[in-house]
Every structure is written in structure tokens, then in C-alpha cells.
């Protein structure tokens, strides 16, 4: 049972795959006009479907598309900026610009060519997480509807604070960072460092990079156990995968639950670990919301529900609100968001605005 709850897309996937294959085989039958001629194609462009975060994102997109009966396309960059941009241009070309695009750019700079292509084609676009600091939705009215991010600095700092509280406000911690040049990795590390500056009794023993991967985090944590041994009072990780890798390295030595670990992202395994008391905290961004509302907002702009140009800046570039999951709220959070199918009000466009993005 766990499996199907965990990957609700599993069975559907197989069908869509077969449809895709069949479509390719019967190539001549492809490309007939869409059923709903005027309905824009909804597009989610994400890094990859092989990680649970973006897989859930994709499910959000599917749910919204099903709700309004629009055609839906998922594009994956596989970490290749060129491919990401090329695919979006291709879809714009194919739909003649009648598209609503929700994109998590592979890298911040990708956002500019993507937005420019969408503007040129007349599609509506919303970006998430990554964009250059000098690229603003209000410079591209009305097509560039919004940019949504989550405050990596804030939440990186907040998980660090939870960790520091868990170890009693003093002692040494180690930190696992994501890919060095990655914007999210940089922000979360900045938050960590800010919190550390405010807690002079806590020492950062070492900062290492595990490229977001649990396997590398496992090896790094093992080596840390040699280097620092019992001096490690807590482990901060910039994402949940690495936190899980660290947790399993501890478990291999029977230390699970004895050294607090925090992660970020709110994937299911991490939330379960928090429930079990083996992790101390994670941050839930709600990728289902990101995948669904990232389409709903530009869709409503396109259909005229609101005029982007008339919206205040805090609706154009905003931080979404996230949930810090700790041992205190883990049970209720699990019941609400993981055990049950997520329920979203797709019309509630601005419900999770938690403030305008800082201009650094």
C-alpha cells in the first residue's frame, strides 16, 4: 500500500507511456488539432522526473490540467540548460505561443532566454526558484506573470536554528552543501552561516559538498565520524537526500537518532525520519502546489482573471510560504500532506504569498 500512496503516478504513468509509444508508432495520426482549440497548452519545465521533488511537482501540474481540462506537457532538462531552453522554444513553436509555462530553470541565467522566448511568442510564463537578479516580471508585461521563490536564506537559517536548539545551543556541527555553484545551495548555506554568526557557541567543524546526492553524503559523513568522532553534535544538510545519506551513515554505526540532522525539501522519507525521531527537521516547500499553482497563476492571467500589470510587486516576485516540519508537527503534517491526497484550491492565487523577494 505504501508504494501506491507514495507514487500515485505509477499506474497512470504506464498508460501514458504506452500512449506515447503508440503515438510514435502511428506517427501519421499525430498532430491533429487539439480538442479544445483555444485552451492553452499547460507546460511544466523541470529538471528531471527521477527525483521525488519534481515528480510531485509534475503531479501537481497534472492535477491542475485535469481540473480545467487543458492539454498538459512535461519538459525535462536533465540538467542541460541548452536542452531546457530548446524544448521550451520547440513547444512555443508547436503551439504557436498558445501556452502557459511554469518553469524551474536549470540555472538562474536560463530564465532570461526562456522569458524572452515566451514574450516573443505571446505565451504566459511563471518562473520559480532561479532567475537573474536583474530580470523582473514587470519589465515584461503581461506575459511574464510572476516569479515565485522560497527564501532559501531564511529556511536554511531556520533549520540551522532548529538544529542548534536541538543540541542545546553549543557544540560542533558539520554541514553538507549542494552543488557549489547552485543558487539554492548558495542561499541555504548563506542562511546557515547567518544563524551560526548569531550563535557564537556553535562551531562549524567542516563544510563539505555532496552534490545533493545521498551516496556522497554517506561517504562524507562516514569520514567525518573518523575525523571528529563524538565532537559532532549535529548535522545540517542543504537537502533531504543528503540528510538521509548522513542518517544512514549514522545508522551503519548504530548512531541513528543520537545526532540531530536537519534537511530541506520535505520529501517523504525525510518526513518519516522526522516522525521516527531520527531527523530533527526538514522544510516542506510543497512541490504539488508549485506544479499546480505555477500553472494556475499564469493561466488566470492569460484568461483575463487578472491583469498582471495591475498587480502589486509582491504578487509579481514573491516568496511562497513553506512549512518547517519538526518533531512537534510531524504527525499532523504527515497525516495532512502525505497520507492524504493533497487538496488545493486552484483559485486561491495569492494565498501563499509571504512577502516580496528581496532585491539584493
Partner 1 sequence: MTTTAGKGRASARLWTSVPWRALAPVVVLAALCIALGLAADNFATAGNFARIATSAAVPAVLATGVTLVILMGGIDLSVEGAMAVAAVVAALVLVAAPGALGAVAAAFAALAAGAALGAVSGAIHVGLRAPSFMVTLGTWFIGLGLAVWLVGGGTVSVRDSELRVLALVRLGGLPLSVWVALGTVLIAWVLQSRTRLGRALFAVGGGEDLAAQSGVPVGRVKVAAFALAGLCYGLGAVLAVAQLGQGNAEIGTGRLFAAVSAAVVGGTSLLGGHGGVLHSLVGVLVVVVLSNGMILLGVPPYLQQAVQGLLIIIAVAVSLDRRGQGLVK
Partner 2 sequence: MITLAAPGPRLRAALPMLVLAGLMAALGLAVPGFASPATLLLVLADTATLFVLAAGLSFVIVIGSIDLGVTATASLAGVVTALLLPGWGGWAFPVALAAGLLAGTVTGLVHVGLRVPSFIASLAAGGVVGGLTLWLSDAQAVTIGQTDRPWLDWVAGETAGLPHIIVVAAGALLLGWGLQRLTPLGRFGLAIGASEPATVASGVRVARYKVLAFALSGLFAALAGIMLAARLTSGSPTGASELLLPSIAAVIVGGTAITGGTGGVARTAVGALTVSVARLGMTFLGVDAFAQQILFGVVLIAAVAITTDRASVVVTK
User: Site residues (CB under 8 A) for partner 2?
Assistant: 13, 16-17, 19-21, 23-24, 27-28, 30-31, 49, 58, 73-83, 85-87, 89-91, 93-94, 107-110, 112-113, 132-134, 179-181, 183, 186
Which of residues 87 and 314 has its CB atom nearest to partner 1 in the complex? 87
Residue of 144, 218, 299, 318 interacting with partner 1 (CB under 8 A): 218
Nearest one of 62, 58, 33 to 48, comparing CA atoms? 58
Q: How far apart are CA 256 and CA 35, in angstroms?
A: 54
Residue of 87, 165, 272, 314 interacting with partner 1 (CB under 8 A): 272
> Residue 5 in 3-state DSSP?
helix
Q: For the chain, how far is it from start to end, CA to CA, in angstroms?
A: 47
Q: How many residues bind partner 1 (CB under 8 A)?
A: 51
Nearest one of 281, 69, 274 to 155, comparing CA atoms? 281
Dihedral sign of CA atoms 295, 296, 301, 307 in order = negative
Task: Kindly state the smallest distance separating residue 233's Cβ from partner 1, in Å.
Answer: 18
Residue of 84, 105, 245, 298 interacting with partner 1 (CB under 8 A): 245
Instruction: By CB under 8 A, tell whether 136 contacts partner 1.
Output: no
Which of residues 1 and 310 has its CB atom nearest to partner 1 in the complex? 1
**Cell digits for 157?**
537559517
107 touches, from partner 2, partner 1, none (C-beta below 5 to 8 Å by class): partner 2
Task: Kindly state the smallest distance separating residue 326's Cβ from partner 2, in Å.
Answer: 30
Nearest one of 19, 126, 107 to 64, comparing CA atoms? 126
> Residue 2 in 3-state DSSP?
helix
Binding-site string for partner 1 from residue 32 to residue 71, where x marks contact by CB under 8 A and - marks none: ----------------xxxxx-xxx-x-------------
Which of residues 44 and 161 has its CB atom nearest to partner 2 in the complex? 44
Beta bridge partners of 353: 320
Q: Are 44 and 64 a contacting pair, CB within 8 Å?
A: no
Task: Kindly state the smallest distance separating residue 81's Cβ from partner 2, in Å.
Answer: 6
Instruction: By CB under 8 A, tell whether 252 contacts partner 1.
Output: yes
Nearest one of 113, 122, 156, 115 to 138, comparing CA atoms? 115
Task: Kindly state the smallest distance separating residue 21's Cβ from partner 2, in Å.
Answer: 6
The alpha carbons of the chain give a radius of gyration, in whole angstroms, of 21
Burial class of 84 by CB neighbour count within 10 A (0 to 12, 13 to 18, 19+): buried
Q: How far apart are CA 117 and CA 127, in angstroms?
A: 13
Task: Kindly state the smallest distance separating residue 140's Cβ from partner 1, in Å.
Answer: 31
Task: Kindly state the smallest distance separating residue 135's Cβ from partner 2, in Å.
Answer: 9
Q: How far apart are CA 325 and CA 341, in angstroms?
A: 18
Residues at the contact surface with partner 1, assessed by CB under 8 A: 2-3, 6-10, 12-14, 17, 48-52, 54-56, 58, 177, 180, 206-209, 211, 213-216, 218-220, 222-227, 229, 244-245, 248, 251-252, 267-269, 272-273
Amino acid at each position: 500500500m505504501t508504494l501506491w500512496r507514495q507514487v500515485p503516478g505509477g499506474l497512470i504513468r504506464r498508460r501514458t507511456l504506452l500512449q506515447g509509444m503508440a503515438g510514435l508508432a502511428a506517427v501519421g495520426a499525430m498532430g491533429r488539432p487539439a480538442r479544445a482549440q483555444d485552451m492553452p497548452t499547460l507546460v511544466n519545465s523541470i529538471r528531471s522526473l527521477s527525483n521525488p521533488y519534481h515528480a510531485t511537482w509534475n503531479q501537481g501540474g497534472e492535477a491542475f490540467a485535469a481540473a480545467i481540462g487543458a492539454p498538459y506537457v512535461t519538459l525535462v532538462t536533465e540538467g542541460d540548460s541548452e536542452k531546457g531552453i530548446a524544448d521550451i522554444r520547440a513547444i512555443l513553436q508547436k503551439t504557436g505561443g498558445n501556452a502557459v509555462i511554469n518553469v524551474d530553470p536549470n540555472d538562474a541565467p536560463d530564465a532570461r532566454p526562456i522569458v524572452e522566448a515566451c514574450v516573443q511568442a505571446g505565451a504566459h510564463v511563471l518562473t520559480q526558484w532561479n532567475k537573474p537578479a536583474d530580470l523582473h516580471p514587470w519589465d515584461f508585461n503581461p506575459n511574464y506573470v510572476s516569479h515565485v521563490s522560497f527564501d532559501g536564506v531564511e529556511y536554511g537559517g531556520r533549520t540551522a536554528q532548529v538544529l542548534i536548539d536541538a543540541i542545546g545551543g553549543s557544540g560542533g556541527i558539520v554541514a553538507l552543501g549542494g552543488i557549489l555553484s547552485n543558487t539554492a545551495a548558495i542561499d541555504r548555506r548563506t542562511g546557515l552561516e547567518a544563524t551560526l554568526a548569531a550563535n557564537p557557541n556553535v562551531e562549524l567543524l567542516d563544510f563539505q559538498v555532496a552534490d545533493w546526492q545521498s551516496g556522497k553524503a554517506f561517504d562524507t559523513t562516514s569520514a567525518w565520524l573518523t575525523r571528529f568522532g563524538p565532537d559532532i553534535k549535529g548535522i545540517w544538510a542543504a537537502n533531504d537526500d543528503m540528510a538521509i545519506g548522513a542518517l544512514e551513515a549514522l545508522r551503519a554505526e548504530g548512531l541513528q537518532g543520537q545526532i540531530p540532522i536537519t534537511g530541506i525539501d520535505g520529501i517523504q522519507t525525510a518526513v518519516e525520519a522526522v516522525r521516527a525521531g531520527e531527523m530533527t527537521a526538514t522544510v516542506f516547500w510543497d512541490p504539488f502546489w508549485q506544479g499546480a499553482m505555477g500553472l494556475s497563476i499564469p493561466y488566470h492571467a492569460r484568461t483575463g482573471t487578472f491583469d498582471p500589470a495591475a498587480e502589486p510587486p509582491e504578487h509579481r516576485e514573491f516568496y511562497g510560504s513553506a512549512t518547517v516540519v519538526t518533531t512537534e508537527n510531524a504527525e499532523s503534517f504527515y497525516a495532512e500532506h502525505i497520507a492524504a491526497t493533497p487538496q488545493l484550491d486552484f483559485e486561491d492565487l495569492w494565498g501563499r504569498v509571504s512577502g516580496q523577494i528581496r532585491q539584493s
